[in-house]
Amino acid sequence: MNLLSLDIGNTTMHFVVYDQTSSIVYNKRELTHQEDEFGSYFMECLKKIEYEINVIVLSCVVPSIHESVRVILKHYYSSVLLDVNMQTIGKMESRLEGNEAIGADLLACAYGAYQLVGEAVIIVDMGSANKIIVVGDDFVYEGGIIFPGIGLGLRTFEETLKHLPKINLEYPEFVLGRDTDTALRSGFMYGIKFQIEAMISEIEEELGIKAKRILTGGYAQYFEKNMPLFDYYPNLIHHGHYYLYMNSIYKQTL
């Protein structure tokens, strides 16, 4: 059995294929195009995957293309298609107010993290926006935080402060910058690191818990070495997809 795990966000689409040994044999990111030619572009992305696909697990947070993605996948593959939402997750309780829906990407990360650690866990998903996801004991979605991330910050600097040098995503030796380059890198790298760590400490105090900590997302690779209290899982959302399907109770319903 080969499983295609597909994460579609506003900026990129991430295609990951697991083979029958649970190994990742295909891992590729493509830009998310939302123009009129999306259908043909998406088909070309699928044609690059030279594996027979038996199962597809999809997280899509772009409403304008979600249904098109489903239709194309069903047409291109004769496979089981599992769309991640609260109904397919099943066992998770939510403490969100007003029955607010939880994004498919957040659900998949929460599911994957809890399957990995089996206890209260705080996930930091670092992308264009940074997202903090809190899952309590007994698989309860406690809530989360969304704030501007590295991707958004870099674009903002490049578009509005064009006289500044390009920012390399590397920690400077010291927090205090001694020139423009180290001042910028410190602001981005240490600034976001300290912001995340402080918010998580506050969350743990508010909830009265001590949780496991996980880093994931496209930009987490630049931070993980200097955040030793976090475990780094670059493909956490795809682990969530894989575990969701491989859960024996769920497989029996397909």
Report how far residue 138's alpha carbon sits from residue 217's, in angstroms, rounded to the nearest whole number.
Answer: 25
> What are the residue boundaries of the structural domains of the chain, listed by start?
3-83, 87-241
Decide whether 3-83 matches 87-241 in CATH topology: yes
CA pair distance 33, 179, nearest whole angstrom? 38
What is the residue-level pLDDT of the chain in tens, covering all 254 positions?
Answer: 899 999 998 889 999 999 999 999 999 999 997 677 899 999 999 999 999 999 999 999 999 999 999 999 999 998 889 999 888 887 788 888 876 789 999 999 999 999 999 999 999 999 888 999 999 998 999 999 999 888 888 888 888 888 888 888 999 999 999 999 999 999 999 999 999 999 999 999 999 999 999 999 989 999 999 999 999 999 999 999 999 998 855 564 44
SS3 6: strand
**∠ at Cα 108 (67, 25), nearest 5°?**
85
CB 30 within 8 A of CB 12: yes
Q: What pLDDT is attached to residue 253?
A: 46
Among the CATH numbers 1.10.10.60, 2.60.410.10, 3.40.50.720, 3.30.420.40, which is that of 3-83? 3.30.420.40
Amino acid letter, 30: E
Judge if pTM exceeds 0.85: yes
- Superfamily (CATH) of domain 87-241: ATPase, nucleotide binding domain (3.30.420.40)
Task: Give residue 155's pLDDT.
Answer: 84
